[in-house]
Amino acid sequence: MHLDIGAALGDDAEPGVDEGDLDDLDEQVAQAHETIAAGRENDDFGYAALNLPEETDTSVIREAVEPVADAEYVLTVGIGGSALGAKTVTAALADDPHRHVILDNVDPEHVERTLSDLPLDDTAINVVSKSGTTAETLANFLVVRAAYEDAGVDWTELTVVTTGESGPLAELVAEHDLPRLPVPDGVPGRFAALSSVGLVPAAILDVDIEGLLAGASAAADGLGPSLYDSPGYAYGAVCYALEEEGAAVNAVMPYAERLEYFAEWFAQLWAESLGKEGRGQTPARALGATDQHSQLQLYRAGPNDKMVTVVRPGERAEVPIPESEHDSLSYFAGADLGQLLDAEYDATVASLAEAGRPAVEIELDELDAEGLGELLYAMEAATVLVGELADIETFTQPAVEWGKRAARGLLSGEETEETKTVAQRPSYRID
Amino acid sequence: MHLDIGAALGDDAEPGVDEGDLDDLDEQVAQAHETIAAGRENDDFGYAALNLPEETDTSVIREAVEPVADAEYVLTVGIGGSALGAKTVTAALADDPHRHVILDNVDPEHVERTLSDLPLDDTAINVVSKSGTTAETLANFLVVRAAYEDAGVDWTELTVVTTGESGPLAELVAEHDLPRLPVPDGVPGRFAALSSVGLVPAAILDVDIEGLLAGASAAADGLGPSLYDSPGYAYGAVCYALEEEGAAVNAVMPYAERLEYFAEWFAQLWAESLGKEGRGQTPARALGATDQHSQLQLYRAGPNDKMVTVVRPGERAEVPIPESEHDSLSYFAGADLGQLLDAEYDATVASLAEAGRPAVEIELDELDAEGLGELLYAMEAATVLVGELADIETFTQPAVEWGKRAARGLLSGEETEETKTVAQRPSYRID
């Protein structure tokens, strides 16, 4: 994996980073790295996430999923960090990503349809909630369980639970003697992809999770006191510097369908970790080349408040574009789809640079287990680094608690301060 | 359908619109409406889009798809406006949205996998390109055609083409005597959902496209010289006013899985129409309640540079949450998933308002054909209105042309000004 920040440097990019300022930035990185290294050393809350590649024991995961290893499908019941990492890994690496189905919303119609589309007797259930109390996950799991019972399928034989040591989910595990995988200590859900939280479906679908962790380990080994030595820190440092110069939006645009969920995972990591105290870039999820026909006009000609992060694998499958009888298509002659996609990628980066819009390129050697592990780890390191540089609390998410309490109050019918605020919220209706 | 702008008004919201300023805004709307009405009257370029509900003849579409009406699947080969509208309609309204598959990217692995997963002899092909020259669409169609031939399936029997009167696709239609549907005159692709560009897959999948157009017509009839009379204009006017006050990001967050693609469609409409001359809100695609566990922290506690648009249907399927043996889940007692989702919605809007972050609510009476038609039309009217208020060229997308020329040059190997710029683009690599 390497990073190319050329199109974010120099006088032309606006916002941009002066090449001469990189050394100052590097001093800040060195300081931040000290904090991060100390946090890792002590396994402090949050920083512990960066130790997962060494700490995660895949044999425990493989053993826990053994009873369901023959299942054709895996249904993950989880939301946010309990779903995005798992989906990112299988979407990128499973032979058939459709075998991993997610219930990460409580839309009744969608839940019903999802369950009726699946062969329940051949579908493992992967329930994930760190606290064991997440309302959406528990409600969905109750519905899922009942659907299995209605279909005459013993859900207890097909379920793997990842949760902490207490809470309703842990009680359920004890009661029904289910395999339980622990959540790692001191790791927020969005940083837990490289643990049981993110790896159970991949293990069931025979993904090389050991290779994934090996790739992450290699990235971890690369972290040091300088941005020049690690793509992860370099990415974080450049994003931070661009944000300071006005890049309020970070559009993340992988040029690979298998990385579409990576953009979702990154968006949570970035937004929930760094969206605090009136700051934090807004991650915009995009996909190349598709979004060239949707978002590129804005990226290139809209406000100078963005950076674009493009990601691509160094190798692609070979699918030749067949010859055509039409002269107007002669420019395809001898090309394949991957060349077209790479041409679009190069053209987009150059077109942004030409318009003075900063772009940062992330190139994986290959989109395999090692390559993905390296990428995920590098992005986590980048996020932690930005949190240090911006001096915010990277590992908490205090702003969502109010809404959780309000929703729970509304559902129970109990009157609380929050439900009163909901009832009295301003209304001005136009029909 | 109605709009509630309460949480975007008042002293607390920042950015916000003063209720007292609505009348001034309404005067601007009245002027803009004159321009829009005149443009519609003359069927001028772009404005013609707002006449589609009256102009689109569904019997022509139904007739064209008749030969493929029995197909189990529809494969749309198109990109940007040639795919997003079609997908939005089937995702929201088809009995089984999975029967509509899209190739809107040239990722070789993805194209290969998609084709190998489909029963080609039972899959209709819907090729859409306004110009008939879109590189990604033509390349994919050449690959698709060859796959059908390899499988011994006569693709000419299964293909419907929507394109203009000239170009490679039109030639192909003539050569192979395929059913061709015209693209409507003077309507940019992103505004063409309510024409053959967006309706062919829906027609094949037996969606009530007549109801969709009827809903759109009703919204069209509601347009008048005041924002107080039409949710579409009101939405556009409030977005414009909020953008002027600093809402650089518009996060669009439907609380319905069936509207996930609506957010994608809207994002193109908004970004490509309004992202010009250094202005234009960045649309952030989100989904409720899922993104409460991903983006809400940022929306509530990050920079004051956003508005959040929430969308929900007035009715939901009934899926009760089964009773549980755990006391800690007693707050679910008697509730169903839809109530939980609506509680999350109310909590999120109130939580944003409580934090002084503007939210705009769009509520559909029902997520049926009429409701969706009304929604799509209202959003198009909103987009056109913002373009007038901001005095920009809503219907063009000049900033993407450079990249298209560059990609074509790169692929053909021809040296052009663009390919030279690509070759010389700045590079600064970190490994």
CATH class of B50-207: alpha beta
Tell which CATH architecture fits domain A2-37+213-390.
3-Layer(aba) Sandwich (3.40)
**Residue B41 Cα, gap to closest chain A Cα (Å):** 25
Calpha distance A22→B49 (Å, rounded): 49
Largest Cα span, chain A: 71
Among B366, B404, B415, B417, the one annotated catalytic = B404
Condensed to tens digits (0 to 9), the pLDDT of residues B249-276 reads 999 999 999 999 999 999 999 999 999 9
Contact B138 A340 (CB under 8 A): no
Residues in A closer than 8 angstroms to B421, CB to CB, are: 350, 354
Whether B10 shows a pLDDT value over 80: the answer reads no
Query: Considering CB atoms only, which of B168, B317, B353 is closest to A425?
Result: B353
Query: Considering CB atoms only, which of B2, B267, B319 is closest to A295?
Result: B267
Question: A70: Cβ–Cβ under 8 A, 6 or more apart, which residues?
Answer: none
**Residue A429 Cα, gap to closest chain B Cα (Å):** 4
Residues in A closer than 8 angstroms to B426, CB to CB, are: 6-7, 9-10, 353
Residue A73 token pair: 């499908």
Whether B325 shows a pLDDT value over 80: the answer reads no
Query: Considering CB atoms only, which of A80, A316, A429 is closest to B2?
Result: A429
Residue A384 token pair: 């932690």
Could you tell me what percent of chain B has a pLDDT over 70? 100
Contact B303 A168 (CB under 8 A): no
In order along its 431 residues, chain A shows pLDDT tens digits of 999 999 999 778 999 999 999 999 999 999 999 999 999 999 999 999 999 999 999 999 999 999 999 999 999 999 999 999 999 999 999 999 999 999 999 999 999 999 999 999 999 999 999 999 999 999 999 999 999 999 999 999 999 999 999 999 999 999 999 999 999 999 999 999 999 999 999 999 999 999 999 999 999 999 999 999 999 999 999 999 999 999 999 999 999 999 999 999 999 999 999 999 999 999 999 999 999 999 999 999 999 999 999 999 999 999 999 998 788 888 888 899 999 999 999 999 999 999 999 999 999 999 999 999 999 999 999 999 999 999 999 999 999 999 999 999 999 999 999 999 999 999 999 99
**Does the annotation count B293 as an active-site position?**
yes
Calpha distance B131→B169 (Å, rounded): 8
Contact B111 A319 (CB under 8 A): yes
pTM of the model: 0.98
**Residue A163 Cα, gap to closest chain B Cα (Å):** 16
**Closest residue in chain A to residue B8, using alpha carbons only:** A426
**Does the annotation count A87 as an active-site position?**
no
ipTM above 0.85, yes or no: yes
Calpha distance A41→A319 (Å, rounded): 47
Residue B426 token pair: 């700045």
Residues in A closer than 8 angstroms to B2, CB to CB, are: 429-431
Query: In a mutagenesis test of the A interface, which of B294, B327, B346 is the best target, namely the one with the most A β-carbons within 10 Å?
Result: B294
Query: Considering CB atoms only, which of A331, A351, A428 is closest to B6?
Result: A428
Contact between B254 and B287 (Cβ < 8 Å)? yes
Contact B255 A107 (CB under 8 A): yes
Q: DSSP H helical segments within A355-431, as ranges?
A: 369-390, 401-412, 417-423
**pLDDT the model gives residue B327:** 81
Contact between B166 and B132 (Cβ < 8 Å)? yes
Looking at residue B332, the DSSP 8-state letter turns out to be: G
Residues in A closer than 8 angstroms to B299, CB to CB, are: 275
Residue type, A58: T
Domains B2-37+213-390 and B50-207 share a fold: yes
Calpha distance A424→A411 (Å, rounded): 17
Whether B198 shows a pLDDT value over 90: the answer reads yes
Looking at residue A331, the DSSP 8-state letter turns out to be: G
Count of alpha carbons within 13 Å of A81, Cβ hemisphere only? 28
**Residue B373 Cα, gap to closest chain A Cα (Å):** 16
Calpha distance A129→B156 (Å, rounded): 51
Calpha distance B217→A388 (Å, rounded): 54
Contact between A184 and A57 (Cβ < 8 Å)? no
**Does the annotation count B272 as an active-site position?**
yes
- Specify the length of chain B in residues: 431
Domain boundaries along the sequence of chain A:
2-37+213-390, 51-207
**pLDDT the model gives residue A187:** 97
Contact A411 B289 (CB under 8 A): no
**Residue A404 Cα, gap to closest chain B Cα (Å):** 8
Condensed to tens digits (0 to 9), the pLDDT of residues B128-177 reads 999 999 999 999 999 999 999 999 999 999 999 999 999 999 999 999 99
Among A2, A110, A404, A420, the one annotated catalytic = A404
Residues in B closer than 8 angstroms to A316, CB to CB, are: 107-109
Calpha distance A77→B136 (Å, rounded): 36
The full DSSP string for B66-86 is GGGTT-SEEEEE--GGGTHHH
Contact between A360 and A1 (Cβ < 8 Å)? no
Among A293, A318, A325, A326, the one annotated catalytic = A293
Residues in A closer than 8 angstroms to B5, CB to CB, are: 428, 430
CATH code assigned to A51-207: 3.40.50.10490
Tell which residue, A274, A248, A367, has the closest CA to residue A316.
A367
What is each CA distance from B300 to A263, A404, B361, in whole angstroms?
21, 13, 16
Calpha distance A13→B426 (Å, rounded): 11
**Residue B278 Cα, gap to closest chain A Cα (Å):** 4
Looking up tokens 């102009």 gives B55
